[in-house]
């Protein structure tokens, strides 16, 4: 949130990125499966499938995706 210039609006530290990614699509009637790779492709975040499931890489990509979603919010 801080990287995106936003105040953390929650008292907890966990964020459901899948729900955040699906919300704009659902508003347009688009209901589809979005895993991390699909969400990254949909929102223009570079994703390396070779590095997928490495804990640090997944955390970095999730953070980049969260920043992108917050920018669009």
Percent residues over pLDDT 90 in the chain: 34
Residue whose token pair is 């953390």: 8
Query: pTM of this prediction?
Result: 0.74
Q: Distance (Å, rounded) from C-alpha 60 to C-alpha 68?
A: 13
Alpha helices in 1-73 (DSSP H): 17-27, 36-43, 55-72
pLDDT of residue 3: 66
Res. 68: pLDDT tops 80 = yes
Res. 6: pLDDT tops 80 = no
In sign, the C-alpha dihedral spanning 2, 55, 40, 15 is negative
């Amino acid at each position: 949130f801080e990287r995106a210039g936003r105040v953390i609006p929650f008292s907890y530290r966990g964020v459901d990125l899948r729900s955040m990614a699906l919300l704009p699509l659902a508003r347009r009637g688009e209901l589809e499966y979005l895993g991390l790779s699909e969400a990254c492709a949909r929102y223009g975040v570079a994703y390396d499938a070779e590095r997928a499931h490495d804990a640090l890489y997944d955390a970095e990509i999730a953070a980049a995706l969260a920043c992108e979603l917050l920018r669009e919010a």
